[in-house]
Amino acid sequence: MTDPEIQKTIDSYLAALRKQLRELMEEDARDIVEEIRGHILDKTSGGSSPEQVSATLAALGTPEELAARYRTEELLRRAQLTRSPLVSLRSLLHWATLSFTGIVVFVVSVFGYAVGGALVIFAALKAAFPRATGLWKNVQPDRSWGLSLSFSNGTPPPGQEILGWWVLPIGLLLGTALLLLTFRFGTWMIRKFWRPRALPQPDGPTNLTCVGGA
């Protein structure tokens, strides 16, 4: 391997690492890549042989493994501190790729956010289009009846509107409560059940090796 080839090996390692860290904040990711670059350069300074470079990169793990350690630490920390449902949901998505519990929590959360969000939007529509938005009870000639939830700009559906204006506060309250509950559920589950042991351990038994010693 020639010098440009060594450089290419290092560069492609760092580029792969950078790509794997895209979930992190731009500044943090750049910081990490620069630190690892410095480490590799320090390790291989003074006439770097290809073997030396390979050994240095191997000791760091693959870009995927290394990034996973950063990401997991970072997501876990952010998920526990966050007040943003979006960050929480992204962490849950990451968790879903790691374990079955993660998948269940993610699906439940998506459902909770969707229904909660729909209720809030429904309440907002009632405020905007009061005549056409609401809950209608529709009694058929054979005395069977159905409920229809309607929101449109057009004419109200047939039948008797129930709840009326109450749809607004109830939808708003129920929707907000459900959104909050879903958020709390997600962060609580992460805190309670997402432990490092549930995460892949790319470091394996070579994480720390004891040598020598009597």
Partner 1 sequence: MVVADSAEKWEIQLRKGSLELAILASLWDGTLYGLEILRHLESSSDLVVVEGTVYPLLNRLRTLGLVASEWVESDSGHPRKYYRLTPAGRQRALEMARVWAQFSASMASLLAPLKKELRKENP
Residue 32 or 125: which CB sits closer to partner 1?
32
Give the list of residues 6+ apart from residue 89 with CB closer than 8 angstroms, or none. Answer: 106, 109, 110, 113, 186
Residue 36 or 168: which CB sits closer to partner 1?
36
Give the list of residues 6+ apart from residue 183 with CB closer than 8 angstroms, or none. Answer: 85, 88
Whole-number minimum distance, CB 96 to partner 1, in Å? Answer: 22
Whole-number minimum distance, CB 69 to partner 1, in Å? Answer: 4
Residue 86 or 211: which CB sits closer to partner 1?
211
Count of other CB atoms within 10 angstroms of residue 109: 22
Sheet holding 160-162, edge to edge: 145-150, 134-139, 160-162
Residue 113 or 194: which CB sits closer to partner 1?
194
User: What residue has token string 């289009």?
Assistant: 129
Whole-number minimum distance, CB 43 to partner 1, in Å? Answer: 7
Whole-number minimum distance, CB 94 to partner 1, in Å? Answer: 15
Whole-number minimum distance, CB 40 to partner 1, in Å? Answer: 10
Residue 32 or 168: which CB sits closer to partner 1?
32
Q: Write out the residues near partner 1 by the rule CB under 8 A.
A: 31-32, 34-39, 41-43, 45, 56, 59-61, 65-66, 69-70, 73-74, 77, 201, 203-214
Return the ∠ at Cα 173 (arms to 169 and 178), rounded to 5°: 150
